[in-house]
Amino acid sequence: MILNSAFLQNAAGAFSWATVALFLQRAIVQGIPLLYGSTGEILTEKSGNLNLGIPGIMYIGGISGVIGAFLYENSLPSRDAINPALAILIPMLCSVLGSLLAGLLYCFLTVSLRANQNVTGLALTTFGVGFGNFFGASLVKLTGSEVPSVALSATSAFFKKSLPFAGKLGNFGTVFFSYGFMTYMAIIIAVVAAFVLKKTRTGLHLRAVGENPATADAAGINVNRYKYVFTCLGSVIAGFGGLYYVMDYACGVWSNEGFGDRGWLAIALVIFCIWRSNWGILGSILFGGLYIVYLFVPGSLSTQELYKMLPYVVTLIVLIITSARKKRENLPPASLGLSYFREDR
Amino acid sequence: MADNNKPVMTENESGKKVHEPLFHITKKAAIPWQKAWAVRIGSVVAALIVCALVTMLLVHKDPIKIYGTMLSGAFGTSRRIWNLLQGIAMLLCVSLAVTPAFKMRFWNIGGEGQVLIGGLATAACMILLGDKIPNALLIVVMLISSLAAGAIWGLIPAVFKAKWNTNETLFTLMMNYVATQLVAYFVNVWEVPKGSGKIGIINQATRAGWLPVIGKYDYLLNIIVVFVLTFVLYAYLKYSKHGYEIAVVGESENTARYIGINVKKVILRTMILSGAVCGLTGFLLVGSTNHTVTTTIAGGRGFTAIMVSWLAKFNPIFMILTSALLVILEKGAGEIATVYGLNKSFSDILTGIILFFIIGSEFFINYTINFRKAHKEGK
């Protein structure tokens, strides 16, 4: 953990607005990777694909960005020669490329070759997590460079750059303005995704594909195209979650297994916000808070482990309640997890 | 009709322009099993070639040598062979557990959690009851409590599935992490020594609750148990009334209801079975293999088992082969990683590549691609 837990432990006893502001800020920082992951997965699931490869794709998105940034930083004569635009664009493009290829692979197998989605997704997660950890640990050796480890502090500095006046606004500045650009990007993407899903024709068609592909097909919607486009788009967005994690949260230092189970937590968030990415913004902050609440409440190490269970328990409760109430708009897309065979009818 | 292929304009009899796709896909009638397995083996061979290419790019050694290293990693010494067999047995056991549920189209991806909770129950008995009751009785209590714990963990999602049709994939997935955190909690409660953050070997001095060792072979008991279980489950699925009911519910719930099968009862019963066998895996892992419990004791087997089961077409006998394939690969790739100084995760990459190939190959078993026939001019 990057955060200064000793300080937080001390702060936990006494209530102060500064502690609340700090808690909120840490919760948001924790929540952003989940928000990227869940927004991506919502778009994917709305097309009827239950992509359990999202945890792997987030690793791939992260490590692809790291590889890009690593190669760029090492090609420079000195750290000072780094170009801000390139330092941000290269990792982002690499991340997009990595996650896009992973998404395409998933689509090719499940949509074109009609393979089982659960099996394909889990295989992709195995592959992706392995890919991330392998290159994270072996990058230095494979490229034969002289640096001791992958620490992209120069690149990370550009990702973390917050608005200049953030520090002058006290607690308000801490909560709202102390983040790098990818935080705001995540929120914008989530809002746009919610708008597209709810208000546009494209979103209507996409939902139709996820609910009942045969009907959508009969209405002249190109089912496969929608599945491909939105699953790949979802992968790219989820991949940004991995990139945000290494470049912003972890200050450009790749550590194996550092990303942990956040990918699965992102899938939990999809259920928690009942397939609405705008609700996912608040949900991600709540999940982020639940993820770190153990640092702020007094208690032994063992009870802290129980606090870490909270996000999953809360998700289970939401899953049960929505399925019991059976309100159409709160249920998972009806054809979620099923491949569409047009010739099957 | 075209799906995502570029349509081509041709003229039909009435002179109207119609779209004619480049190809269309039709379902095959069942093909002989020899042919199906030829396709699968072909895909594994193709995957192995790709794996060799990837490995060559990374370590710059000739592929024969790489495969030699892999084989020696899996079969090199008798110790390695025992490890390999133990690995296969444990993966196979979880795969057997999830199979009845899959046949019923109940996606139990909570094997990980069910194994963990079974292991936790076993460890709890060993820690709390060790030395207090006779060893034989202790082992029986351990067995029963692990089966019960796994069964309950499997039953919870099944209850909600049966009552409200709650999505079981997502439910069982979440249950994994609840189980992980429970184990993490108890590991902290029972840690030895205090502050170490782990339990260590339980009852190392008294060996209370350790499963008996057959001959000198530590893992032989596990292997025999799982081997027997494979054939029992095969018979259960193939020849028993329960197995038949599972198959009917899996094919079509409406048909099952129509012929008077109580679908809810079948779902609950099958998930109790599935969870209990996962619990048994936890029992074997804690009682016999590791003698301790950690959050990573299931080691991702709950997820890998899904692929093992699916690749074998839910046939327990074939699962021996598919689980062997994955474990040999894992051990072999692990050896490559050690010998050439690469990270251990290398095996995950190779496993992923092989899985993608096998998953893709199913298409060519189940479907045929019909290309557009050439049209005669001026028809």
Q: Over the Cα atoms of chain B, what is R_g?
A: 25
What pTM was estimated for this model as a whole? 0.86
Distance CA B278, CA B319 (A): 16
d(CA B167, nearest CA chain A) in Å:
8
A72 contact partners, CB below 8 Å, separation of at least 6: A86, A87, A90, A91, A155
Count how many domains chain B has.
1
Task: Give the mean model confidence (pLDDT) for residues B169-175.
Answer: 89
Nearest to B174 among A116, A142, A312 (CB): A312
Task: Give the mean model confidence (pLDDT) for residues B291-308.
Answer: 87
d(CA B143, nearest CA chain A) in Å:
26
Give just the sign of the alpha carbon dihedral B127, B130, B133, B135. Answer: positive
Q: Are A139 and A151 in contact (CB under 8 A)?
A: no
Residue B110, phi then psi, degrees to nearest 5: -100, 20
- B379: pLDDT confidence band, cut at 50, 70 and 90? very low
β-pairing, B8-11 vs B17-20, is antiparallel
Within B259-345, residue ranges assigned H as helices are: 263-284, 301-311, 316-339
Is there a cis peptide before residue A91, judged by omega within 30 degrees of 0? no
N- to C-terminal Cα separation, chain B: 21
Residues of chain A neighbouring B310 (CB-CB closer than 8 A)? 116, 119
Within chain B, residue ranges assigned H as helices are: 33-59, 63-75, 78-103, 111-129, 135-164, 168-189, 220-239, 241-251, 253-258, 263-284, 301-311, 316-339, 346-366
Q: Are B74 and B84 in contact (CB under 8 A)?
A: yes
Residue B86 included in any domain:
yes
Q: Over the Cα atoms of chain A, what is R_g?
A: 21
Residues of chain A neighbouring B354 (CB-CB closer than 8 A)? none
Q: How many CB atoms lie within 10 A of CB A6?
A: 9
Q: Are A22 and A230 in contact (CB under 8 A)?
A: no
Give the distance, in angstroms, between the CA of residue B172 and the centroid of all CA atoms in the same chain.
14
**With an 8 Å Cβ cutoff, are B170 and A323 in contact?**
no
What ipTM goes with this model? 0.85
Residue B369, phi then psi, degrees to nearest 5: -100, 125
Q: Tokens for B275?
A: 């969870």
Residue A256, phi then psi, degrees to nearest 5: -65, 140
User: Would you write out chain A's pLDDT as a tens digit for each of its 345 residues?
Assistant: 344 444 444 444 456 788 888 888 889 999 999 999 999 999 999 999 989 999 999 999 999 999 998 888 888 877 777 888 888 899 999 999 999 999 999 999 999 888 889 889 989 998 999 999 888 887 777 777 666 667 777 788 788 777 777 667 777 777 777 788 889 999 999 999 999 999 999 999 999 999 999 999 999 999 999 999 999 999 999 999 999 998 888 888 887 777 878 888 898 889 888 889 899 999 999 989 888 887 777 777 778 788 888 888 988 998 888 888 877 777 888 888 888 887 765
Residues of chain A neighbouring B302 (CB-CB closer than 8 A)? none
How confident is the model at residue B299, as a pLDDT?
Answer: 81
Which candidate, B112, B120, B288, B280, places its Cα nearest to that of B189? B120
Which residue of chain B has the CA closest to A229?
B4
Residue B30 included in any domain:
no
Q: Would you call A303 an interface residue with chain B, using a CB distance cutoff of 8 Å?
A: yes
List the domain boundaries for chain A: 31-259
* Helix, strand, coil percentages for chain A (3-state, nearest 5): 75, 0, 25
How confident is the model at residue B6, as a pLDDT?
Answer: 45
Residue B170 included in any domain:
yes
